[in-house]
Amino acid sequence: MAYVALYRQWRPQDFDALVGQDHIRTTLKNAINSGRIGHAYLFSGPRGTGKTSTAKILAKALNCVEGPTSQPCNQCSCCERITAGNSMDVFEIDAASNRGIDEIRDLRETIKFAPVDGRYKIYIIDEVHMLTTEAFNALLKTLEEPPAHVVFILATTEPHKIPATIHSRCQRYDFHRIEAGEIKKRLAEVVNRNQLKVDPEALQLIAAHADGGMRDALSILDQCAALDTEHVTADKVCNLLGLIGHEWVWRLAGALAKRDSAETLLILDELINMGQDVRQVLLELAKHGRSLMLFKVLPAGSSVMEMYSEDQTVLAEQSAQFTHQELVDMIRSLHEACNEAKWSPEPRITAEMALLSICRRVAAADWEALIARVNALENSLASGSMPTVSVPVQRKYSEEQPPALVQPSVRQPSAPKPVVQEIKPVAEMKTASSGMAKPVFTGPAKEEAGKIWAAILKELLADGKRSVHACISQGEILQLDEHQAIVGFAAKFSKERSEREDFRAIIEKVMAHVCGRPVRLQCVLGNSETSLPPAAEHVEKTNRAEIAAPKTEKAAAVSVEHPAVREALQMFGGKIIKE
């Protein structure tokens, strides 16, 4: 006789053998005993939780010679034929391969005939959500008012795909995932009855990996028994399922807790060299992170924690090394890395980036210290005093480079060099009526700010931002601190054009690149005590001459697409008006 898989050998044959579905067992037994047998049932739930098995048990309970009864005998001819799958009164239809309207029409033609052996003709439609919309519509009337001898049992794993009109005509029963403890108990019974040697740790691992499905658990046990007919251990189960094992996960989590980047990468390298899948490593680490997160808030004996079958001592030790927010961020990063690694040509790089990011996370103590510094600074501002602080400023250009505003033929920036700049309180800026504001720099700070400003202007030229450079170069740096740069202008036009969003974004991007941190641009307007720089005077005179000059026929004929016109529009804004 051919070998029969364990999940088929141990399929429940009566309601009492159902595991983990007490609410469904009790309801169906009471309905049968009271004679309240419905004409249509909808069984929904995850795979391997007993939907089809319950449908067959219900069919036997209705057609048993002693029935309808909640305790089918499993010995009469009707029960035996239903168990064997060759009963002429029980029809199992796979909706995935019989999903069209023609199949439903044939079904409607056959239900009118009386049953052959039993009391009822029972139609079990598996994966009913696969039916087409037309097939569902054709089934509606028959499902609502079938003949008295017909019972429909619809089974699905995706009840949300079934139309509401079908839902309203059925009694719905939701099957739950089976707890790991109940699965382990059932597996132990199967092992004893089949005289298999399996370690309890291996059974716990199989129950956790089954994810609430009894059929999956029995299939894994069957496969493990074929791997080693003498003795099945937890290590053999891990090898069969491709799991990396608790010890490796604990080592990896310990390295992340210590923020040891080198050890983390070495452990990952060992796992990859052993042939472990990168996504599997990330997934198991994410599950361990979830178990640590739950251990901080749930009691030790909770059924949720049984799913992971991990050492409580390890969970207690490692959960104390992470804060709740750190665990949340770690799990989120690992899930994102799993999704990216699925499509990445080099998933190892994705995993290394995620693990290094977790190692270099900002600790809660660092945030508390930063908050304390901010609070102290706010208190100083409220009291009217501003402490002098030294802030490192990264420059892109070296000391030897002159701040001349000449466009280089080849862009060759030197290595960044940290410069300590003394930040002083912001002086009051004079308005246009009282003259242009004076720089607040003194001594070396003024020279340093001038060099940084020259580097910013030079960077604009190097990037080809001529129009931006033409406007911002007419200003003078008045103050530069770690948050903002204040630039004073003598001409209103240059100030307003530099403040526009397009020019401001370009200037602030270059300032951030040169200074090594985000710096906000603030433009102020004032009348300088000295004359404008030659370049600025030339631009102002040229603009006034061009505005005052009458239009000539040659100027009127210039095309809007001319390069000079386009550059002028980009530099000065505005629009062309044709008269």
In this predicted structure, the answer to whether residue 440 has a pLDDT above a threshold of 80 is: no
In a domain, 436, yes or no: yes
What strand order describes the sheet that includes 484-489? 476-480, 484-489, 520-525
Nearest-CA neighbor of 393 among 440, 444, 452?
452
Both 218 and 300 in one domain: the answer is no
CA dist., res. 214 & res. 18, Å (int): 10
Both 414 and 395 in one domain: the answer is yes
CA dist., res. 381 & res. 334, Å (int): 42
The set of residues, in sequence order, having a beta carbon less than 8 Å from that of 453 and lying 6+ positions away, is 403, 477, 480
Q: What is the CATH number of the domain that holds 94?
A: 3.40.50.300
pLDDT digits (tens, 9 = 90+) for 103-142: 888 888 889 888 888 899 999 999 999 999 999 999 998 8
Both 233 and 291 in one domain: the answer is no
Going by pLDDT thresholds of 50, 70 and 90, the confidence category of residue 176 is very high
Both 102 and 214 in one domain: the answer is no
More confident residue, 380 or 315: 315
What is the b/e burial string over 50-78, where b = at least 16 CB atoms within 10 angstroms of the residue's CB? bbbbbbbbbbbbbbbeebbebebeeebeb
**Can you say whether the dihedral through the CA atoms of 568, 572, 578, 579 is positive or negative?**
negative
The conformation of residue 432, written as its DSSP 8-state character, comes to: G
In this predicted structure, the answer to whether residue 371 has a pLDDT above a threshold of 50 is: yes
More confident residue, 555 or 237: 237
The set of residues, in sequence order, having a beta carbon less than 8 Å from that of 368 and lying 6+ positions away, is none
- Segment 513-541 mean pLDDT: 62
Cβ(52)–Cβ(153) below 8 Å: no
How confident is the model at residue 212, as a pLDDT? 87
Going by pLDDT thresholds of 50, 70 and 90, the confidence category of residue 391 is very low
What mean pLDDT value characterizes the chain? 79
Q: How far is CA 115 from CA 62, 107, 311, in A?
A: 12, 14, 57
How confident is the model at residue 436, as a pLDDT? 43
More confident residue, 114 or 450: 114
The dihedrals phi and psi of 524, each to the nearest 5 degrees, come to: -125, 155
In this predicted structure, the answer to whether residue 422 has a pLDDT above a threshold of 90 is: no
More confident residue, 439 or 77: 77
- Segment 189-194 mean pLDDT: 90
The set of residues, in sequence order, having a beta carbon less than 8 Å from that of 283 and lying 6+ positions away, is 334, 338
Cβ(448)–Cβ(462) below 8 Å: no
In a domain, 455, yes or no: yes
In a domain, 559, yes or no: no
Lowest mean pLDDT among 318-332, 358-372, 473-487, 548-562: 548-562
How confident is the model at residue 559, as a pLDDT? 52
Going by pLDDT thresholds of 50, 70 and 90, the confidence category of residue 210 is confident
- Segment 232-252 mean pLDDT: 84
In a domain, 55, yes or no: yes
Both 491 and 528 in one domain: the answer is yes
Both 136 and 188 in one domain: the answer is no
Both 237 and 309 in one domain: the answer is no
In a domain, 261, yes or no: yes
Lowest mean pLDDT among 184-188, 322-326, 445-449: 445-449
- Segment 2-27 mean pLDDT: 89
pLDDT digits (tens, 9 = 90+) for 87-114: 899 999 998 888 888 888 888 888 988 8
- Segment 403-421 mean pLDDT: 43
CA dist., res. 363 & res. 256, Å (int): 12
In a domain, 290, yes or no: yes
CA dist., res. 510 & res. 537, Å (int): 26
- Segment 419-438 mean pLDDT: 40
CA dist., res. 448 & res. 423, Å (int): 12
Nearest-CA neighbor of 256 among 247, 245, 267?
267
How confident is the model at residue 432, as a pLDDT? 36
The angle that helices 246-258 and 312-319 make with each other, rounded to 10 degrees, is 20
In a domain, 112, yes or no: yes
How confident is the model at residue 30, as a pLDDT? 93
How confident is the model at residue 470, as a pLDDT? 82
Give the 3-state secondary structure of residue 124. strand
Percent of the chain with pLDDT over 90: 29
- Segment 171-183 mean pLDDT: 91
Q: Which domain holds residue 109?
A: 6-174
More confident residue, 241 or 45: 45
CA dist., res. 524 & res. 542, Å (int): 23
Percent of the chain with pLDDT over 70: 76
How confident is the model at residue 442, as a pLDDT? 45
Both 235 and 301 in one domain: the answer is no
In this predicted structure, the answer to whether residue 150 has a pLDDT above a threshold of 80 is: yes
Going by pLDDT thresholds of 50, 70 and 90, the confidence category of residue 491 is confident
Going by pLDDT thresholds of 50, 70 and 90, the confidence category of residue 242 is confident
How confident is the model at residue 526, as a pLDDT? 67
Going by pLDDT thresholds of 50, 70 and 90, the confidence category of residue 560 is low
CA angle 472, 401, 474 (to 5 degrees): 15
Both 228 and 258 in one domain: the answer is no
Tokens found for residue 156: 């699905």
CA dist., res. 225 & res. 203, Å (int): 12
Burial status of residue 211 (CB atoms within 10 A of its CB: 0-12, 13-18, 19 or more): middle
How confident is the model at residue 353, as a pLDDT? 93
In this predicted structure, the answer to whether residue 425 has a pLDDT above a threshold of 60 is: no
Lowest mean pLDDT among 16-30, 206-220, 432-446: 432-446
Tokens found for residue 83: 């168990």
Question: E strands within 180-268?
Answer: none
Locate all alpha helices (DSSP H) within 99-151, ordered by sequence. 101-110, 133-144
- Give the Cβ contact number of residue 556 at 10 Å: 9
How confident is the model at residue 451, as a pLDDT? 82
Both 198 and 100 in one domain: the answer is no
Pairing status of strand 520-525 against strand 484-489 = parallel
How confident is the model at residue 170, as a pLDDT? 93
Question: Is the full-model pTM beyond 0.85?
Answer: no
Q: What is the CATH number of the domain that holds 190?
A: 1.10.8.60
How confident is the model at residue 262, as a pLDDT? 92
Q: How far is CA 410 from CA 27, 400, 413, 415, in A?
A: 83, 17, 9, 16
CA dist., res. 391 & res. 419, Å (int): 9
Tell how far CA 155 is from the center of its chain: 31
Both 407 and 438 in one domain: the answer is yes
In this predicted structure, the answer to whether residue 530 has a pLDDT above a threshold of 50 is: no
In a domain, 562, yes or no: no
How confident is the model at residue 25, as a pLDDT? 92
The dihedrals phi and psi of 438, each to the nearest 5 degrees, come to: -90, 150
**First vs last Cα of the chain: how many Å apart?**
99
Q: What is the CATH number of the domain that holds 332?
A: 1.20.272.10
How confident is the model at residue 569, as a pLDDT? 63
Q: How far is CA 72 from CA 39, 186, 502, in A?
A: 19, 22, 80
In this predicted structure, the answer to whether residue 65 has a pLDDT above a threshold of 80 is: yes
| Number of structural domains found in the chain | 4
Which element (helix H / strand E) includes 326? helix 324-343
The set of residues, in sequence order, having a beta carbon less than 8 Å from that of 406 and lying 6+ positions away, is 458, 461
Domain boundary among 123, 149, 174: 174
Burial status of residue 508 (CB atoms within 10 A of its CB: 0-12, 13-18, 19 or more): middle
Both 214 and 141 in one domain: the answer is no
- Strand-pair partners of 391: 421
